[in-house]
Every structure is written in C-alpha cells, then in structure tokens.
C-alpha cells in the first residue's frame, strides 16, 4: 500500500507503518498532490498531524491551481486541520496563482463557516482580492451566505475599532509632539501593533510610524517612554531603524542611535536584517542614496 492509498483509506495505522519504514512523506501523486494535501482535503486531523510530525512540507504547492494544503483544508471544512497547518507555518494569506484565492476565500465559497471563523481568529486578512477583484466578503454576499458574511463584517468592525484605539498614530502622523506626550502620560501603549488590514501601517508600532514619517522629536519621546526599537515590524520584517534609513531621515537615525547611551532607553540593533530581503538599515540608506543617514 502506498502512503497516498493509506491516506485516502483513512488508515492511520497503515500510514504510520509506512512512515516508520522510511517512505517519502512528500512524494507527490501524478497530479502533483502530496499526502499532506490529500489528508487536508479529506479533513483528517490525526493523519495531518502524523504527516506534519514526519516532516511533510506544509508550504508545498500543487501544480494545477497552485493551491497549498491549507487551501485543501479550507475545502474540507475541518477547522482542526486548518489549525494544525497554521501551527506548522502555513501562510494564512497565500493566494493561489490561478484564482487568486486565499484559504479564507475557499472556505467561504465552500460554505464552511467554522473554518472561516478559525481563519479570521488566526489573523486572515479580509481586504485581499482574487483575480476577479472580489474579497471574501464579496463572495459571501454574492452567494447569500449571511452568517458567514456577518463573521467577516464583525472582524472588519473589530479591526476598525482597534485602529481607532491607536490614538498615538494619528498624532504621530500629524507631527503633534504635545499630543503624543499627553497620550503617553495617559497610558497609551507605545509598542502596540496596528492590525493587518491591507494598509501601509500593517503591523507597525508607533515608533516605526514616527521613524517612517521623519519625526525625530516624537521618536525621542517614544524611546524615553520605553518604546522598543528592536521590534520587528511590517510585511518586510524590518525595524523602526530600517524605516528611518530607507526614507533618509538622518535626524531620526541620529536620535535612535544616540539613545543607546541614555539610561532607560533601549538600543536599536544596528545590523538587524529584514526578514524578506536580508538588508540592514545601512543597506537601505545606501541603496536609496541617503548619504547622511548612512
């Protein structure tokens, strides 16, 4: 019996025996499906757990539609399977190249409300559009899926409320140092992250926004209040110092590096490398010709 056959038969014992014998858990079918994709599509959480533990590649993509195991889990409707895949590093917002669908969109199309709920709870973005320019909410409304639409609407409303609660950010963007200082004194969270909603501020902290906008005085105020300059922020996985260097704000770079010697202030990591491109703040400054920042 092949591993694929054991998975399709739902035979955990047979699959476990094959794994122990050293079978390749990532060997694809002629159609390009891995055993993990098959198990995910059949909604088999114990089988999925076995395969993941044995080294199944959670990020593998099948060649026909460019779907992942997480897309298959969304089709199956089993939230436990989707949760296991996410726990093992599945990209929650990965879009298939043929349709442009995320797992959230597939869960909506196949009317699996519990998977929709799980993906929303785990941070799936709702603003992403497929190749027909439809969001997950558009798909739910198109098909008259009122209960699923309400789940997405509730998440969008919660994101809006969270953004409004980040009172520091509007003051920072306005360059209003006095208001920033008032908000800090009133207990505003200086390291709070903005939600992922498809905006340039996704996953930014107040310090990163201030560094990007070039407000050196506000940067100093945030650092004095305990803001952490080492926090990894944004989709590129950089730091606030990357933001200052990228946009050529030499005064902000100076403010952040001067803070290294001040009592109570945290030091930025000068050689931190962005998760996406491996660049340091110095790379960013040189790349864009910002000599003073460099």
54, pLDDT greater than 80: yes
Q: Give pLDDT, residue 261.
A: 52
pLDDT(167) > 70: yes
Confidence of residue 185 (pLDDT cuts 50, 70, 90): very high
Per-residue pLDDT tens over the stretch 65-123: 999 999 999 999 999 999 999 999 999 999 999 999 999 999 999 999 999 999 999 99
**For the chain, how far is it from start to end, CA to CA, in angstroms?**
61
User: Which are the contacts of 22, defined by CB distance < 8 A and separation ≥ 6?
Assistant: none
User: In the prediction, which pLDDT does 246 show?
Assistant: 97
Section 269-275 average pLDDT = 93
Q: Which residues in the chain are classed under CATH 1.25.40.20?
A: 3-161, 166-287
Quote the percentage of the chain above a pLDDT of 70: 98
Place 260 in a pLDDT band, splitting at 50, 70 and 90: low
Confidence of residue 134 (pLDDT cuts 50, 70, 90): very high
| Residue 262 pLDDT level (bands cut at 50, 70, 90) | low
Q: Would you state the pLDDT for residue 258?
A: 84
Residue 26 pLDDT exceeds 60? yes
Per-residue pLDDT reduced to its tens digit, 136-153: 999 999 999 999 999 999
Mean pLDDT of 41-68: 97
Beta carbons within 10 angstroms of residue 182's beta carbon: 13
Topology of the domain covering 166-287: 1.25.40
Is the pLDDT at 259 greater than 80? The verdict is no
CA nearest 149: which of 108, 186, 93, 188?
108
Q: Which pLDDT band, with edges at 50, 70 and 90, does 14 fall under?
A: very high
Class of domain 3-161: mainly alpha
Inter-CA distances, 215 with 119, 160, 174, 254, Å? 36, 25, 10, 12
Smallest CA-to-CA distance from 129 within 187, 198, 192, 79 is with: 198
């Amino acid at each position: 019996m092949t591993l694929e056959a054991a998975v399709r038969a739902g035979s955990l014992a047979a699959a476990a025996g094959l794994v122990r014998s050293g079978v390749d858990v990532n060997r694809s079918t002629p159609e390009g499906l891995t055993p993990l994709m098959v198990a995910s599509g059949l909604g088999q959480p114990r089988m999925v757990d076995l395969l993941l533990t044995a080294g199944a590649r959670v990020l593998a993509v099948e060649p026909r539609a460019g779907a992942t195991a997480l897309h298959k889990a969304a089709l199956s409707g089993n939230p436990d399977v989707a949760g296991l895949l996410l726990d093992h590093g599945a990209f929650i917002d990965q879009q298939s190249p043929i349709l442009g669908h995320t797992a959230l969109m597939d869960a909506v199309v196949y009317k699996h409300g519990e998977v929709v709920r799980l993906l929303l709870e785990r941070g799936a973005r709702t603003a992403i559009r497929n190749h027909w320019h439809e969001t997950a909410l558009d798909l739910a409304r198109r098909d008259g899926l009122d209960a699923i639409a309400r789940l997405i609407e509730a998440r969008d409303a919660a994101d809006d409320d969270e953004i409004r609660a980040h009172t520091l950010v509007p003051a920072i963007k306005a360059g209003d140092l006095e208001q920033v200082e008032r908000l800090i004194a009133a207990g505003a969270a200086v390291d709070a992250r903005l939600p992922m909603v498809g905006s340039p501020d996704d996953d930014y902290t107040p310090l990163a926004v201030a560094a990007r906008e070039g407000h050196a005085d506000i940067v100093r105020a945030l650092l004095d209040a305990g803001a952490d300059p080492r926090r990894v922020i944004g989709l590129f996985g950089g730091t606030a110092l990357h933001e200052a260097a990228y946009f050529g704000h030499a005064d902000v770079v100076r403010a952040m590096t001067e803070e290294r010697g001040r009592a109570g202030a945290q030091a930025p990591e000068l050689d931190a490398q962005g998760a996406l491109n491996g660049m340091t703040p110095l790379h960013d400054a040189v790349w864009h010709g910002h000599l003073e920042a460099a």
